[in-house]
Structure 1
Amino acid sequence: MTALRSLQCIKATPEFLCEVGSLIELRTFSVCNIRSEHSADLSNAITKMSHLVHLEIIAAAESDMLQLEGLHLPPTLSWLCLGGQLEKISMPQLFSSWSHLNGRTRLQLGFSNIDEQTFSCLFVLHGLRSLGLRKAFEGKKLDFCSGSFPELRHLYIWDATELNQVGIQEGAMKSLANLLFINCPELKFLPDGIEHLAALEKLRLEDTSEELIEKLRQKMNATKM
């Protein structure tokens, strides 16, 4: 099986993680039921997979911690999905070690325990093309500083139930074409600075506050008049 290219939906065990490192030709690897005690073996195995294109790592439960400090990602990677909590103290080092990811890369984070302070750690991922946060952001305010995510084309934010304010500085996300907010019930205003997104083509709001929807209706009606 050393020539295997795809291995998906595999439940992790210590024995499996010790052996899967021999599958160095994998392009697609999806593993679930990851626990903290699996971290070292998982990182060692993935480091050997120098041709990976798609990688998905899902924790055993939403509350379980993914300890991925030793995880080295190949430059061939174009899709990365992580489902599980990340340690706040390790986020700066973790994301910095992935700063080589290029403009083809899509990143999806779920249940990651990111807040206002740790969100800025993601800015080192300059080459990201797509970013999805699903139950990953737990703060009330999202700020995008000037120069952040220069290559980002798609930003999707789901289930940020406390989010009530988004700020976008001039020069942030200058390539963004699609912006989506789903199930952000406390979001009552459009992002402050959304006018700076010159490349924006589509804004989707679903299950946000009725107050925000009504403001948009009034603005559209005023434009028609």
Structure 2
Amino acid sequence: MSNKSSAISIARRGLMFVLSSPSGAGKTTISRRLMELEANVHLSISVTTRPRRPGEVDGVHYHFISGEEFGLMVNRQELLEHAKVFDYYYGTPKGPVEQHLAAGHDVLFDIDWQGTQQLRQNARDDLVSVFLLPPSTRDLEKRLHTRAQDSAEVIAKRMSKAADEMSHWAEYDYVVINEDIEQCLGEVRTILHAERLKRHRGIGLVDFVKRLREGH
């Protein structure tokens, strides 16, 4: 008869896990797969002033709000970060993120370099940032055409901005080249697993070690 003890569980603070990339380099696909495979990961749902795309659901993909509402949230300091991207505003509501972190839940962010810079300034100890690069610019353009979400004009605009976005790679903790989706996903998961074990996130370690030293 097995007398195996239950797994030891030590309280930890959650982390902010940021995935950034140029449009079409795979961050949305990787984010979706990460949510499917990893327990205890919650997607940060941004607010945005851009119109809904076909298939998008308010409160699931984004909170779609007016420019006036967005401005009020900025003035009330209710956003951890916010930025203007392609004529529209995006931002991360502060309240839900702080609740998740305190409860030991990880929060996944699909944001650009501007938002990541602001998170770094506001919450560096909680932040883990990963930048995804495409294997080539030709591959990036092909992906943008294949997903058929944008007009040729918008695709050209995204491609012209990609070089600037990629120039910020060195500001990130990790850089992963997304040549093969499964390999890329595996590397991103490895980063997440290692970061969860960082000593400063283990808020229950002090008491655990104290009990060990007392002979428990």
Query: Is TM > 0.5 for Structure 1 vs Structure 2?
Result: no
Higher share of residues assigned helix: 2
Higher share of residues assigned strand: 1
TM-score, normalised to structure 1's length? 0.26
